[in-house]
Amino acid sequence: MLAALPKKQYLYSAALIIAAVVIGLWEPHALIYGVQRGSLYAVIALPLALILGILGVLNLAHGEFLTVGLYTSYVLFNRFGTDPLKATIPVTLFLAVVGVAIYLLTIKHVLKAGHLSQLLITFGISLVLSELVKSIYTTQPRAVFTTYSHRSTTLAGIRFGIYEFLYLLIAVTVLVGLQLFLKKTRLGQATFAVGQNPTGASIVGINVGFVYMFVFGLSMAIVGLASAVMVPRVAIFPGAGTPFTMKSFALSAMAGLGNLNGILLAGLTLGIFEAVVNAIPGGSGWSDVVFFGVLILVILTRSFREAK
């Protein structure tokens, strides 16, 4: 189900701002990189959180859908010369269609079968997509190079990349767009109602099946958008999107079920922590350990508070 923004999260936001200021004074590069990377994590995690909040399905194929989006962007660039940013529309639409098709063929039929069946079917989808990509493109890494995505600037003696701030813009835009959709449109309100109580929503005449299909397609469209935006800055290979599945789930768990606002805060927090660890000499190999360590700490703290 979707949740409203808890009041405690405003305190969390204030604490994050204070921590960001301290880190910025200590190591500005870590703060900048952390915000950029954390924003990317948030963009990719939002679709997984939306599916989890509305359908109640943990999509283990999330990263493989991202990989499909990366290869789609690569094909458009390599064969047709389509700029990655111009390719956002066709890639977004293509992933939406793929998402709807896979939902209708597979996920739709296990929604009432229990969480184990849902996990198994999405795990199977991830394997199929991964092997399909390997059979078509092999395991050879590929890349999309654009000059503008590698530009940097210097501010107050600090040199940093410009393109990655697009991740923050996209994250905020997608989050605000989702909130406006859920609150201001009839379909969005129906979606929110289904997320809260699908049985009650069905009783009052809402087509729950259509809402589920729409949400899955919308979520995959956001994944497509993320893949097209990030493709100039990442290596493209069959396992490129796989690590983002666990990190997206980590952000969803840290934010709380259905708390879309918390996804961005969690992404920025974990992105900054990861960047700080990378900034410490010899700490680059520990970034994932710290990433998930912070997640475990947050979940344990929340559990202790709820137990009181």
Q: For residue 138, what is the domain's CATH number? A: 1.10.3470
For the chain, how long is the longest CA-to-CA vector? 62
Q: Which amino acid is at 181?
A: F
Residue 184: how many other CB atoms lie within 10 Å? 9
Residue of 302, 181, 166, 156 whose CA lies nearest to 225: 166
Cα separation of 8 and 257, whole Å?
Answer: 15
Q: Is pLDDT above 60 for 202?
A: yes
- Asked if the structure places residue 11 within a domain, the reply is no
Q: Which residue, among 182, 196, 198, 301, has the nearest Cα to 253 in the 3D structure? A: 301
* pTM, entire model: 0.90
Helix (H, G, I), strand (E, B) or coil at 155: strand
Do the Cβ atoms of 50 and 219 come closer than 8 Å?
yes
Short-list 61, 119, 25, CA closest to 239: 61
Residue with tokens 């996990």: 119
On the CB side of 266, CA atoms within 13 Å amount to: 32
For 174, phi and psi rounded to 5 degrees? Answer: -65, -45
Q: Is residue 71 part of a domain?
A: yes
Task: Answer yes or no: is 2 within a domain.
Answer: no
Compute the radius of gyration of the chain from its Cα atoms.
19
Element holding 219 (H helix, E strand): helix 208-230
Which is more confidently placed, 122 or 114? 122
Total count of domains within the chain? 1
Please give the average per-residue pLDDT across 126-140, as a whole number: 95
Q: Which stretches of 144-300 are assigned E, i.e. beta strand?
A: 152-155, 158-161
User: In this prediction, what percent of the chain has a pLDDT beyond 70?
Assistant: 88
pLDDT averaged over the chain?
A: 88
On whether residue 91 sits in a domain, the answer given is yes
**Residue 10 is assigned to a structural domain of this protein:** no
For 276-301, write each residue's pLDDT tens digit: 887 777 666 777 777 777 778 777 77
Reported as a single tens digit per residue, the pLDDT across 76-112 is 999 999 999 999 999 999 999 999 999 999 999 999 8
pLDDT at 64 over 70: yes
The 10 Å Cβ neighbour count of residue 221 is 22
Q: What angle do CA 92, 64, 57 make, to 5 degrees?
A: 90
What pLDDT, on the 0 to 100 scale, is given for residue 11? 61
Structural domain of residue 112, as residue ranges? 30-307
Q: pLDDT band at 25, cuts 50/70/90?
A: low
pLDDT at residue 34 above 90? no
Instruction: Kindly state whether residue 18 falls inside one of the protein's structural domains.
Output: no
* Any domain includes 216: yes
